[in-house]
Structure 1
Amino acid sequence: MAAADVPLLIISDNARSERRVSPAWTIAQLKARLEPITGIPASSQRLTLKVASWPDQNLQTVDEQDTQLETFTLQSYAELHIADTRPAGLRANYTDVSAVEKYEMPPDEYESRTDSVLHWKKTHQLGRFDPNAPSIEQQKVAGIDREIDERGIKIDARCRLLAANQGESSLERRGTIKFIGPVPEIPGIGSWVGVALDEPTGKNDGTVKGTRYFQCGANCGVFLRPERIEVGDFDIIDEFGSDEEF
């Protein structure tokens, strides 16, 4: 079964848009599709994929004709930056409109028109005019819950922690999921994942500002967003940092 398309934010000096890409595309196929969007020839594109909580990924490979996008870490609404490697003098400038006379309609006049997109949205209660549209906060909460479901995050599941950035320690931390849900004591809406770590490399004992969410040893507890959690059949790390043998 083919992998589902992934929506990405395409960003270049001359363009910014949302596009769906297929993990089955090769780098060469992706560049060919980006050329009419960005105006940058495929041979002059340098691609960088920016995914939250992951190091930037350079999509340049020796064999772009055969390397598929599924080789890299794709995530919905990640940013794909396209840089133009041509000398500045050879690049077309589509954004310089300094010589073009610009007319701006007064806001009051635009609000009063009945032939505008704004009026059409108001009439059909679309976008921000939809009384039933979820708020930004509701969308974020729903996104976190969806991430929990897609990652298979469940109580008592074994997991390992993913690094938040390149500067974080490369020491692998493993543990067991003991809590899933809101933690009012921590800034930020939506659910958190409470993990009892195998080793005392955490921040608490399952308690946050006097409220207990799960039981674990001192400094063995940590609360993370679901994108920092990878569920799997991970062995327990003993006090010497090696896997226990059973």
Structure 2
Amino acid sequence: MSSSSVVTVFVVSADTRSERRFDLHTTVEQLKAKLELITGIPVTNQIVSLTNSEKDGQVIASLSDESKPLGFYGLRDWQVLKVEDSNPSTTFTGQLTDVSQVEKFELSDVDYAKRQDTVLAYKQQHKMGRFASKESASPKPAMVIDIPVGSRCEVESAEEGLHKRGAVRFVGTTKFGTGEGVWVGVEYDEPMGKNDGSVQGERYFTCRPNYGAFVRPDRVKVGDFPVIELDLDEEM
């Protein structure tokens, strides 16, 4: 597969957004089988259209002929393949990210203070944070952080077999959380993050939505970690 026959595009659906590479000789039928693994939308429900960008939503081609290769539609780098679900009521497309109907649990400050199974109660019991004795409090030695901004890294994950790789975009203190210690801002290769490099209105770096995350330095391993390519051909 020569590089000249491969294009890099964005695949966008109601629940997903990712950057993918496809061979221009791939037929629309083969493409839809791969898109099902990426978006979760069944092949029979897929409506695939091509736009120049996410901001420009004008459809320039509808990939309706399953026998045609992608090259037939003039697919170019950084265009967008928009995948819609023709029957979302049976597949719940778009409903997994809609939290408008989720009932929120709220607890008043007074009721929270009465509980004995909270972080606040734990800090009171062990005299931590604002409950610590000022006389016994002593400054902690500064931790040496050898994580260069711009370096490739792999972030420790609690899920076995999952490797979160990306690039270091920020190292330093932040305004969120307790404000104690150093955080490492990472731009993941895949949309496995929680933000776009900003938290609570404060920007620390810039990346695409859901590609950014902040983790503690002890979870970050710097090294030669290339981008993990998802080879969907093996799953055909």
- TM > 0.5: no
Q: TM-score, normalised by structure 1?
A: 0.40
Q: What's the TM-score, normalizing by structure 2?
A: 0.41
